[in-house]
Amino acid sequence: MTGKFILIFFLIFLLAVESNAQSVGLVLSGGGAKGMAHIGVIRVLEENNIPIDYIAGTSIGAIVGGLYAAGYTPDEMEELFKSDDFYFWSTGKIQEEYRYYFKQPEENPSWFELRITKRDDKVKLLPPTSLIPEEQMDFAFMELLATTNSACENDFDSLMIPFFCVATDVYNHEPVVLREGDMGEAVRASMTVPVYFKPIEINGTLLFDGGIVNNFPHDIMTDLYKPDIIIGHKVASDPKAAAPDDVMEQISNMVMRPTNFKIKPEEGILLETNFTNVNLLDFNKIETAIEAGRNTATVLIDSIKTRVHRRVPLEVVQQKREEFNAKKPQLFFQNIQVEGIEDTEQRRFIIQSIKHHFNVVSLSLLKKEYFKLVADENVKSIRPIARYNKETGYFDLHLKVEPEKKFKVNIGGNISTKPINQGFASIDYRAFNGRAYNINSNIYFGRFYSSFKLGGRIDFPWRVPFYIAGYSTLNRWDFFASSSELFFEDVRPPYIIQDEYNFRLEAGFPLGLHSKFYSGIAYSSSTDEYYQTNIFKKEDDPDQTTFNGLVTQAQIESNSLNYKQYATEGEFGYLSAKYITGKETNLPGTTSSNAFKTTKNHNFYILKAHTTKYFRFGRAFSLGTHAEAVFSNKLLMQNYRSTLLAAPGFYPTPHSKSLFIENFHSNNYLAGGLSTIINFNPSVHLRLEGYGFVPMKEELSNADLTAYQNTNTFENYYLQGMAALVYQTGIGPVSVALNYYEKENTNFYLTLNFGYVLFNKRGF
């Protein structure tokens, strides 16, 4: 008994001493990727048993401070920030396993989207609200901190370590101190940098990054918690005069208030980490930043120990962390509520899309269905909030949904050093009332390619969703106009103009997350104007071949690529079967060996298979494989050139789509290649691509310019390749590319491009 009494007395004594001991508040500044240095500082403080009784931060300081207060160790935070998940939610990009292909519209060269709305009886165009989509980030903060909200009962003073962060009231331009409520929303508000991210609304107040008004809240720390000692860590750069062409720095200087980073000697100590090689968004340099923070704290640790006499062993901190984490329930969801949608059918559709027939939904299932909803063009944004329900033992999921505007405009195209420049514009009307309706029209205009499309799609949200769609399209390609080069010029460019009209109807349904099946019918009328020889005079009349036909098609298609041009991860593939019946009419020109108009009926099938897949070997290197095969019983057309113009072609690179090269067309062929990709960072890469094309029974030209098939199978092969430096800007790729084709005359083409070389679909 005596031993137990002494032990109890000793513990009471320690608690009494502890209650009167020094309290320490840690304050972390904003500063973007430089704030990863905060992790290094916290690690040094822990290793030296320096206590952290309160913690606060702004922007990146709010993220690091909030995660630490929520029970994450420095090692866990470092692992999180190094992970692929962090890359995706900090950039707004969607992981391959969550890219829902079924709802994606047909590809187009759009750069950005403008929404049309009516306010004060005036029609207005609304520009994009942010550079980085917010859905990834909103889900990540819910995933990281929802169970923490339950453990602390939405009171930040009841976290493992009491915590607050600072955001900015957009309207009043005043600081807002966040120390209760949903912790994920609080941290999300504190780091919402204007222009980069969309502001967040909490309790009716629109909030932006706290760094606008207070990037180092040591004064608020003093007022709220009155710690004996403040340890502050500054990573933010001091304001500097902006260069005339530095728009972001100019905006920053206009919106950011000066922040007082000074801590009085009697109040605490300031640690400052300066960077010369880490910028605001250089999150790929996390190791450099953490090591810099560690060095800063190590240099000043003796000064900190002199000021802070109290010690808390790391084992005690870890035990406190384990006790707090033990309060966190597992993240399962049962009740789902939808806010922001008035239509009952729409709310039911959203809830059913997530729950299906399940009573309880796991996090993994929720995440997959959440990104399916994000892919829906009728939904502008979805913000998930999880609230623990003590009665059920599960989380209630509140989805704050903002419907998309009924009208939107897309602007895009391609800017090039060769004459394949084109502009693009489209307008969409969307409505949702039990079914999703989309009416779309677009226009391409340029010297090489021009087009107009009008059509629409109806989505049926049944147990197995499906769609029906119909489109009417006019296409025109002028290959003669595209042949002039800035650095290299074709000696005898072919004169080819293709005009086509098609009307198609199709219906489809999803096959898993990345795939869909669709089938349909189409009517197509195409007219090709061409000379049968590359030597012609201005007064010569071209040949004209017209083909009018009906197409029946079925196709399985899969797509999980991360970019619609110059992809570096994911895969794309399809297997299609077409049956075509139609009539060919040939009107000979002055260079033709035939003097009379001729007609010919055609009935044939075309089977085509394609696969492109990228394999990542670490973050710096990727390898892509490419394979394609075409089989057909199609007969030869009236002459050699019309035969190849109507034959399927192999276009593996963006530039190859702008040329007509006879060597890469055949009714039956095998083709494939490899891509080697060196990633300098998530946005910049170098790609080297090489491809081979092998016609099965090559179509060749007779002396009279008619066509015949080679009797030898796989006798010839043709090569092409590309070396390109690519920068994905967020609205479109910038590329410098050297292209090679095995053909007569010019073999090399050097191009500088911004944008996309994409076209509306053909009928055949």
Which tens digits make up the pLDDT trace of 460-513?
877 788 999 999 999 999 987 555 444 444 444 568 899 999 999 999 999 988
Token pair 């790609």: residue: 687
Domain boundary (385, 403, 421) is at 403
Which tens digits make up the pLDDT trace of 698-744?
999 998 889 999 989 999 999 999 999 999 998 899 999 999 999 98
pLDDT in the model for residue 257? 57
pLDDT in the model for residue 8? 44
Whether residues 550 and 662 share a domain: the answer is: yes
151 in a structural domain? no
Whether residues 303 and 336 share a domain: the answer is: no
| CATH code (residue 337) | 3.10.20.310
Whether residues 314 and 399 share a domain: the answer is: no
316 in a structural domain? yes
pLDDT in the model for residue 13? 41
Pairing of strands 707-709, 449-460: unpaired
Strands across the sheet containing 394-403: 361-362, 332-339, 394-403, 379-389
Whether residues 382 and 470 share a domain: the answer is: no
pLDDT in the model for residue 604? 97
Spot the catalytic one: 59, 90, 426, 656.
59
Q: What are phi and psi of 43, to 5 degrees?
A: -60, -45
Whether residues 678 and 727 share a domain: the answer is: yes
pLDDT in the model for residue 594? 79
- Rounded CA separation 565/201 (Å): 35
pLDDT in the model for residue 252? 53
Is residue 706 within 8 A of residue 638, CB to CB? The reply is yes
105 in a structural domain? no
Spot the catalytic one: 209, 376, 478, 528.
209
Whether residues 229 and 377 share a domain: the answer is: no
- Rounded CA separation 729/563 (Å): 11
| CATH code (residue 164) | 3.40.1090.10
Domain boundary (326, 347, 374) is at 326
614 in a structural domain? yes
Does residue 540 have an active-site annotation?
Answer: no
Domain boundary (326, 352, 385) is at 326
123 in a structural domain? no
Whether residues 461 and 361 share a domain: the answer is: no
Whether residues 391 and 448 share a domain: the answer is: no
Averaged pLDDT score across all residues of the chain:
88
- Rounded CA separation 666/650 (Å): 9
Is residue 697 within 8 A of residue 719, CB to CB? The reply is no
pLDDT in the model for residue 195? 78
- Rounded CA separation 759/476 (Å): 10
Sequence length of the chain is: 764
Whether residues 73 and 222 share a domain: the answer is: yes
Residues 6+ apart with CB under 8 A from 449: 420, 422, 475, 476, 477, 478, 759
124 in a structural domain? no
Whether residues 412 and 487 share a domain: the answer is: yes
- Rounded CA separation 132/206 (Å): 18
Token pair 């120390």: residue: 179
Q: What are phi and psi of 150, to 5 degrees?
A: -65, -45
Token pair 């089989």: residue: 631
When divided into structural domains, the chain yields a total of 3
- Rounded CA separation 563/727 (Å): 12
| CATH code (residue 741) | 2.40.160.50
- Rounded CA separation 651/644 (Å): 14
Whether residues 359 and 280 share a domain: the answer is: no
Residues 6+ apart with CB under 8 A from 233: 26, 27, 28, 29, 37, 38, 41, 61, 270, 271, 272, 273, 293, 296, 297
Residues 6+ apart with CB under 8 A from 386: 142, 146, 149, 331, 333, 395, 396, 397, 398
Does residue 228 have an active-site annotation?
Answer: no
- Rounded CA separation 134/400 (Å): 13
Tell me the β-bridge partners of 432: 436
457 in a structural domain? yes
Name residue 665's amino acid. Answer: H
Q: Which residues of the chain have pLDDT under 70?
A: 1-21, 118-121, 123-127, 129, 238-259, 481-494
Domain of residue 205 covers 24-92+158-326
Whether residues 644 and 683 share a domain: the answer is: yes
703 in a structural domain? yes
